[in-house]
Structure 1
């Protein structure tokens, strides 16, 4: 199947299912935040914020299960290699479930180590640890879902990926309400609801995968057992994803540092940042829809050796990315205060979040170039540039945050905005070389 001609209509047609699917991803965190936030318990809300930071760092370190799987599955599909398409699913699932099981087994070591590095406090850490311990029960399922999502996106099955996210979000929201509002389980109940939802999503994803592969899929996988886990296949799996993993760790460190900076200021500022980060998450995931489209279009242009298509893909996806960034900035600015009031009943948290809202509204504008450039370099398979830029940007961000500590909460948010700018500048430095190489 060939891609539609490069036009604005084609870009949007390719992007909207991804955007819709991406929008559902942060809704898991939003549901957790709203359910616990409506109890008015600032300590519990801050505990979920701190616990989410720990879980995101530990789980998304292995986000290559999503990103790497997409590229390699798409290549197998393009080569009309149905055997490799099936093998990619099995390898991704085996890797995801195996890493998740290892995380679960090592939680006795990982949880104390993570909280030793964060500036929480006894009461806050107790609430956060309850959330994290519950989430670890879903570790294998969470990483398995990463692999299935990446596999489905590589096949272009964006509607199936959307269904997977919807199932997880609905179950998560229902269980959050049951465990927190009905049973009073607090932050631990939020974590348990999310863990159960992840196992339900894994079961749904396996059913979708069997349906997509068609009749006889399981029997076909059994016949190719000998080729599923050969040394060359495993080496390629890790080689493709090594730079992506380093990049992801660097960016996760940036956001973990941001959460720790809020924790350093106290329970109320940390809870306020957790509320505001829901705006940031939704903006990032939606704009990532155009970044994913850029991956596909840039990769196709490079594959064809077309410099003009490469430049046109950058221009068209850039128009949508910056346009969407402006729209989200305005939406946050206009609707931020009532949304904050809906998310939390705590007056101190509402006031603090409202005073920082203008910084949040700037994130989609300043972050748009970084997200777009990510898509361009992933499409160009320039993993080294992605890795180096993320490491440099994170280091510069940490130095900026340290320098701005006298400005308290304002300094924390200015440093975060600077981090997005550093990412864009670092990747931008590689653009002339990339463009020249394609022109040649």
Structure 2
């Protein structure tokens, strides 16, 4: 079982770590430009796209779980229908984003309190980057399908290809052409479309047209649609709550001033690096638990759950140890501003503690997604966001200032792990055997 987990997890870890590598390089590039407002603009722009694209995260997560259960049950027809439904949903969703782009940015700016310079640069970034929406959403569906088919190598190839290309383009646009956040945006758009072309080539080369189902009867089958949209709805609500939390964090950071926004953005990069590393095992959990759920194999599912949680916790301990040993050195990777470095060290204890807490709930997320038990995930996130995170912040902000944001984030992650653990035997394990 450990070999099976590692076969899926290692490619996912490699590909996942390239995502925060890209984000970290962007932060480091922009963090060295004259004016902290460039870094603030990147943070605001990133927040908006997190809200928009993570909202469509069900295209990746739901597709993985539904494909894996169909694959485990040896239902090849349903495997193909899931992919077709997901891609069509991606096309419709991206069209909606493009049509409403001006409304989306204007609405975001109504709730963000920031300087005029940050607002201007964020607009420049947003109106370029929004044009990668069709490629991004289609890639969500295709990569989720690959993972559901127990193929972690292809998503790794695609992600590494996109992110290395993106890094190279960003460096060229900023240092070669003298651009700022617009260079980061153009680099991202170009890389995403080339990545989509690569993903389609892999699909047709190694799977062929046999898995494409465009027949109206298959796509509109009532039971299949109900399950697809039920899973998608729960993951969408769960993801919206997640995005709300991170967006609230960014908005309140901006309200404290450009310096706090900049350093919280840097420290959050270290959260993301850890999250993407542990998510390699969480993605493996989606594939494996989906397969055993589809087979109705309770013993295999129980063994997988235990081992996956153990792997996740082990990674969390390792990341906390690295952050403890390298504290200031890690901050210096993102900025050479002495004031920002000193400010970052003031809040770095929260970053050290985060992997120990966060890794547990990330693994449970993967287990629930793979088993397509999405209702409890939705409920867990709503509880953690609105009954823990928000009260924790407002009850402590007057006393603790920026520490209140990090305290609220930590309490939020603890609540996610605790509620998912409570649901685990009652919802995931109980449905098999």
Length-normalised TM-score, structure 1: 0.91
Residue 245 (str. 1) matches residue 236 (str. 2)? yes
Q: Which residue of 1 aligns with 2:28?
A: 34
CA deviation string 1:360-406 (max 9, x = no partner): 11111111221122123223332111111100101120111111212
CA deviation string 1:95-114 (max 9, x = no partner): 21221121011011010101
8 Å CA contact retained: 2:63, 2:144: yes
Q: Which residue of 1 aligns with 2:378?
A: 387
Matching of residues 178-197 of structure 1 within 5 Å? 178-197=172-191
Q: Which residue of 1 aligns with 2:423?
A: 430
Match of 1:351, SS?
helix
Distance of 1:420 and 1:239 partners within structure 2: 25
Residue 419 (str. 1) matches residue 409 (str. 2)? no
Residue 264 (str. 1) matches residue 258 (str. 2)? no
Matching of residues 127-206 of structure 1 within 5 Å? 127-206=121-200
CA deviation string 1:210-245 (max 9, x = no partner): 11223xx28x858x5444642535444322211111
8 Å CA contact retained: 1:247, 1:390: yes
Match of 1:185, SS?
coil
Q: Which residue of 2 aligns with 1:404?
A: 396
Matching of residues 38-437 of structure 1 within 5 Å? 38-214=32-208, 217=209, 221=212, 225-227=215-217, 229-230=219-220, 232=222, 233-302=224-293, 308-395=299-386, 396-406=388-398, 407-434=400-427, 437=430
Q: Which moved more, 1:95-104 or 1:79-88?
A: 79-88
Shift of 1:333: 1.8
Alignment CA distance shift 1:150-1:10 (3 Å): closer
Q: Which residue of 2 aligns with 1:3?
A: none
Match of 2:333, SS?
helix
Distance of 1:239 and 1:261 partners within structure 2: 33
8 Å CA contact retained: 1:61, 1:249: yes
CA deviation string 1:120-172 (max 9, x = no partner): 23222112222122210111111111111111111222111111111111221
Give the gaps of 5 or more residues in structure 1.
1-5
Shift of 1:250: 0.7
8 Å CA contact retained: 1:31, 1:172: no
8 Å CA contact retained: 2:135, 2:192: yes
| C-alpha RMSD of the superposition | 2.3
Distance of 1:141 and 1:228 partners within structure 2: 25
Give the gaps of 5 or more residues in structure 2.
none
Shift of 1:14: 3.2
Alignment CA distance shift 1:76-1:313 (3 Å): closer
Alignment CA distance shift 1:33-1:168 (3 Å): same
Q: Which moved more, 1:229-238 or 1:39-48?
A: 229-238
8 Å CA contact retained: 1:72, 1:154: yes
Distance of 1:28 and 1:89 partners within structure 2: 28
